[in-house]
Structure 1
Amino acid sequence: MSLLLFVIVLITFFPVFYIARKVKKIRRDQTKLRAKILDGLGVSLADAHRKRVVGFFHPYCNAGGGGERVLWTAIEHLQRTESDTISAVYTGDTDATKESIIDKVKARFDITLNPEGLVFVFLHSRYLVEDSTWPRFTLLGQSLGSMYLAFEAMSKLIPDLFIDTMGYAFTFHVVRWIGRIPIGAYVHYPTISTDMISRVRTRKRWHTNSDSVSSSTLLSQGKLLYYRIFMYYYSRSLRLAVFVMCNSSWTKNHVDSILQYSDPLLDALHKFPPFILLNWISDIRAYSPREAKIVYPPCDTRDVAQFPLQGRERVILSLAQFRPEKDHPAQLRAFSVLLSSHPEYRKDGTFPISLVLVGGSRNAGDAARVESLRALAKELGIDDQVQYVLNAPYSIVLEWLSRASTGLSTMVDEHFGINVVEFMAAGVIPVTHASGGPLNDIVVPFNGEPTGYHATTPETFAEALHQVFTLPPDAELAMRQRARTWAVQRFSEEEFVNGWDASEWKTWMARGLN
């Protein structure tokens, strides 16, 4: 028995001691690493002590989506208001250069960045957070992969404040242990939510719950256990942050619930080896947040609000990255139902309309989804009225926003919906799924009158689109004006930076944790 106990202790503690030695070396090398980075920015050794570094963990910073707009707007704000602050972006975009990323930010978002206050820390282990790397147990695999990615990040630069802007909360354990620095988070979408658990419990097929699992009682029960354990550790991870911002009321409600999550059985297990080590490494402090703050993302309400509200083309515009959760197939099916129900909208009809899908294609997976969409459109017999615009520069996105009559968003439980706000500010009448941010925060009545439409099925989406195209001219113009006024007032860049500053990031960076 004593020999078995010795083996357990050895297996438990030896890897920890080995990693601890690595961590000591990383900390010891930081002075030289930081000096080298600052020297590359033209900061003299005499001025280096006045500089503070805010690290933004965003492995896909060059993707060009709504999450990236949050990142770059925050950094641009810091550069404009905090001259002694250096922004460090941890990214896996190793195929790009600093100059090309800055140029793309300008082209896509019309955001100008100062290269002298910005450094990129390029990470070579991003494949560890790719979906394709973890075809099974994806949540667990990506979370463990993100921890290694954070280890690589900290080995290259430990900032004074670490902010995750993509949703990799498991990195917080690594950053806290190695860096001993405060951690903040901007959460676009919880990694796991009660909605996901509910779909497994009710055995509903979804892009996160495959047919093979939803059709099996045994597999569904096993996945429920897996989700229970994952939720427990996700909650512990989030509680390592000293402040948490969320992009919508939907996300906030879920995150607040996760921050309060507990499991008595798993809590008890952490009083015994090897789990007790996790308590020591995690070190969840008493000041961990118990409530997240809503900071609505910055949306392009400056340029697009200048577009004319009249004279719009008969175009249905989709503006979303080609990711599975955006559910582009639902858009094609809704469009097919619309054309079948109203032949006058067909290409050879009296009032032909078109569907234009504008979005970013990040990788081979996204490219394959686009090809499957082309095949589906052809199968539905609508391919001659569907257009695809991939990885468009900002100017092209603006052009479509100025031309389209209505905007289409079919994602279920969209955490916020920057694209929907852009529709409204541009004067494009939105038709969105009746859930998440579009339902609760964005497409809501203004002065008691509607600003758009909600739907849930291809049939109801088709009917809502038909209503847009048959609105009387006066009612159509009034709805476009209401939508624009609400979007500009509520979701501007100014509102975002005010909320960002209210997160107390400056206080925590000055205070630290040591």
Structure 2
Amino acid sequence: MLALILLVLGLALAFQCYALFLFAFIAAIALRAYTSKLDSRNRQRRAGLLQALGRPANRTTKIVGFFHPYCNAGGGGERVLWTAIASIQRTNPDLVSIVYSGDVDASKEEIIAKVKSRFAINLDPSLLDFVFLKSRHLVEDSAWPRFTLLGQSLGSMYLAWEAMSLLIPDLYIDTMGYAFTFPVVIALGRIPCGAYVHYPTISTDMLARVRSRRDWHTNSNSISSSPILTWGKLLYYRIFMYYYAASLCSASFVMANSTWTKTHVDSILKHSDPLLAFLHLPFRLLSLALPRREKSAESALRVYPPCDTKEMEKYPLDGREPIIISVAQFRPEKDHIAQLRAFHTLLQTHPEHRGTVKLLLIGGSRNAGDAARVDCLRDLAVQLGIQESVQFKINAPYAEMLNDLGRSSIGLSTMVDEHFGINVVEYMAAGVIPVAHASAGPLLDIVVPWEGQPTGFHAKTPEQYAEQFHHVLTLPKEEDLALRERARTTAVRRFSEAEFERTWNASRWYDWIL
């Protein structure tokens, strides 16, 4: 009987392998036929694009494709995109850059004009064009109220298919964090891929928080309070991490925006899950249908994002008002509740500051959820009895934000594991002394000593924040000015556009296209 059972199992396994081999063979033929059709169509569209730009319509003219569906948003990630493209135009004028954008309501001219007005970056229109994608809604979190990570990742894969069906470049670079697009691009375009990672889609920290059943903005109380739901979410995260790592490993080069991000990306590139690898083994046969790829990245290169320091460093360092300023979108992870509690603790433990020190919260409100969050913060300020010392500025103009930075004394950031922290860099460039959470970018990269002297302070608890506030507010004038000068110097020198371009080119991305 045992022999019969083993025989049946062996035959079943052999049949499964045979079926998968057959499916892989058929898939390879179908993929080859489809990519041949794409190639024919791509040659025509490529020639039309280059002709419209006034460039030679031949294979010697190379095209770099940037996948950035929200290229017209005007944020820090967009500054990275446009600074990189401007650098390419200066150093490699024979290359043409295209941006895969979902901003279908904006024209090429309008986007370029906004880049100039928002970032003071001049772009050459003859070396730049756009491929507009109609399916961007598939990567928005509102489209996936459940299983958001999975839904957005699948949506990005569809968006990548749409992109490749419209134009295949010679090099594909994702600058938004959509690693699941790489297998699609490699399969359809048979081209190398690169990545600039602002924040890993999933990390071991996220798994650890779920495992510890800790409430978090990505782990609601309904899940953390249930052992069964926690186990289910851990399994979901574990499977997702396995495929995210596999997708990221298919990139030929990877850049990370901070030490924290680099550490996590490096661990993801080396991530292995023996159980899932074993269960996944039969499906590896399907990889026979995919083209062989170039050598993948083994680790990420740290490339700090370029920060806007030119305007901010113009403000004088002295004459500051007793204002604690926070510049951050009203998103849950920014933890504005912690800011109100820290300020309340300051006034409780050092009542001499009551009536003189103000807390100014400046941030963008993107939608109804953010607006409701602001209303809750206003209510909390009333409950804490600090409403008269707290001011909210919602969606304030950029010039007004700059003016407020130029008169404030302390810059506040309470986000835990802020991957980089451009707002903290902006505080320092403007001469505002930062008090940031003791984690990730602000701890490891930004608020670090300059020539052996402090450039700001860190904290974790409301009590620690309150003591750092009091310390800064009572500094002697000479020590205060020296601290502001060091903060500005390190921000301007370490996070400038020139430093970004140097490290961007140190990745040797051009080896994959030139």
TM-score (norm 1): 0.90
Distance 1:383 1:269, change over 3 A: same
1:116 matched residue in structure 2: 126
- Is 1:37 equivalent to 2:49 in the alignment? yes
What CA distance in whole angstroms lies between the structure 2 residues aligned with 1:63 and 1:234? 26
* Aligned partner letter, 2:257: N
Equivalent of 1:86, from 93, 96, 103?
A: 96
Equivalent of 1:192, from 177, 187, 202?
A: 202
Distance 1:303 1:265, change over 3 A: same
Indicate if the aligned counterparts of 1:27 and 1:178 stay in contact, CA closer than 8 A.
Answer: no
Indicate if the aligned counterparts of 1:269 and 1:275 stay in contact, CA closer than 8 A.
Answer: no
Equivalent of 2:255, from 245, 248, 252?
A: 245
Deviations along 1:384-420, one digit per CA (max 9) or x if unpaired, are 4444444455433432322221111111111111111
2:139 matched residue in structure 1: 129
Equivalent of 2:270, from 247, 255, 260?
A: 260
2:358 matched residue in structure 1: 353
Distance 1:367 1:265, change over 3 A: same
What CA distance in whole angstroms lies between the structure 2 residues aligned with 1:324 and 1:481? 32
* Aligned partner letter, 1:296: Y
1:61 matched residue in structure 2: 71
Indicate if the aligned counterparts of 1:107 and 1:394 stay in contact, CA closer than 8 A.
Answer: no
What CA distance in whole angstroms lies between the structure 1 residues aligned with 2:327 and 2:155? 30
Greater mean alpha carbon deviation, residues 100-109 or residues 475-484: 100-109
The within-5 A match list for 1:159-178 is 159-178=169-188
What CA distance in whole angstroms lies between the structure 1 residues aligned with 2:337 and 2:298? 38
* Aligned partner letter, 1:485: T
Equivalent of 2:37, from 25, 33, 38?
A: 25
How far residue 256 of structure 1 moved from its aligned partner, in angstroms, is 0.8
1:319 matched residue in structure 2: 327
What CA distance in whole angstroms lies between the structure 1 residues aligned with 2:177 and 2:380? 32
* Aligned partner letter, 1:333: R
What CA distance in whole angstroms lies between the structure 1 residues aligned with 2:397 and 2:64? 28
What CA distance in whole angstroms lies between the structure 1 residues aligned with 2:390 and 2:253? 44
1:277 matched residue in structure 2: 286
How far residue 7 of structure 1 moved from its aligned partner, in angstroms, is 12
CA RMSD of aligned residues (A): 2.7
* Aligned partner letter, 2:267: S
Deviations along 1:264-291, one digit per CA (max 9) or x if unpaired, are 232233331x453146438565x21111
Equivalent of 1:505, from 505, 509, 513?
A: 509
2:254 aligns to what SS in structure 1? strand
How far residue 354 of structure 1 moved from its aligned partner, in angstroms, is 3.4
Indicate if the aligned counterparts of 2:437 and 2:460 stay in contact, CA closer than 8 A.
Answer: yes
Higher alpha-carbon Rg: 2
Unpaired segments ≥5 residues, structure 2? 1-10
Greater mean alpha carbon deviation, residues 200-209 or residues 259-268: 259-268
1:271 aligns to what SS in structure 2? helix
2:445 matched residue in structure 1: 441
Indicate if the aligned counterparts of 2:325 and 2:410 stay in contact, CA closer than 8 A.
Answer: yes
Percent of aligned pairs with the same residue?
Answer: 61
Unpaired segments ≥5 residues, structure 1? none
2:411 matched residue in structure 1: 407
Deviations along 1:58-96, one digit per CA (max 9) or x if unpaired, are 122222222121111111111222212222111222233
Greater mean alpha carbon deviation, residues 455-464 or residues 137-146: 455-464
* Aligned partner letter, 1:155: S
* Aligned partner letter, 1:354: L
Distance 1:279 1:290, change over 3 A: farther
1:106 matched residue in structure 2: 116
- Is 1:471 equivalent to 2:481 in the alignment? no
* Aligned partner letter, 2:243: Y
What CA distance in whole angstroms lies between the structure 2 residues aligned with 1:23 and 1:6? 26
1:207 aligns to what SS in structure 2? coil
- Is 1:206 equivalent to 2:216 in the alignment? yes
2:513 aligns to what SS in structure 1? helix
2:4 matched residue in structure 1: none
Indicate if the aligned counterparts of 1:426 and 1:484 stay in contact, CA closer than 8 A.
Answer: yes
Greater mean alpha carbon deviation, residues 159-168 or residues 107-116: 107-116
What CA distance in whole angstroms lies between the structure 1 residues aligned with 2:224 and 2:238? 17
Distance 1:467 1:221, change over 3 A: same
- Is 1:495 equivalent to 2:499 in the alignment? yes
Indicate if the aligned counterparts of 1:64 and 1:360 stay in contact, CA closer than 8 A.
Answer: no
Distance 1:21 1:373, change over 3 A: farther
TM-score (norm 2): 0.90
Distance 1:254 1:284, change over 3 A: farther
Greater mean alpha carbon deviation, residues 196-205 or residues 78-87: 78-87
Indicate if the aligned counterparts of 1:59 and 1:126 stay in contact, CA closer than 8 A.
Answer: yes
What CA distance in whole angstroms lies between the structure 2 residues aligned with 1:379 and 1:34? 61
1:87 aligns to what SS in structure 2? strand
2:7 matched residue in structure 1: none
* Aligned partner letter, 1:31: R
Equivalent of 1:73, from 83, 87, 98?
A: 83
2:316 matched residue in structure 1: 308
Indicate if the aligned counterparts of 1:270 and 1:278 stay in contact, CA closer than 8 A.
Answer: no
What CA distance in whole angstroms lies between the structure 1 residues aligned with 2:35 and 2:176? 25
1:459 matched residue in structure 2: 463
Equivalent of 1:294, from 277, 298, 302?
A: 302
What CA distance in whole angstroms lies between the structure 2 residues aligned with 1:279 and 1:395? 55
Deviations along 1:358-388, one digit per CA (max 9) or x if unpaired, are x344455445544444454455444444444
2:5 matched residue in structure 1: none
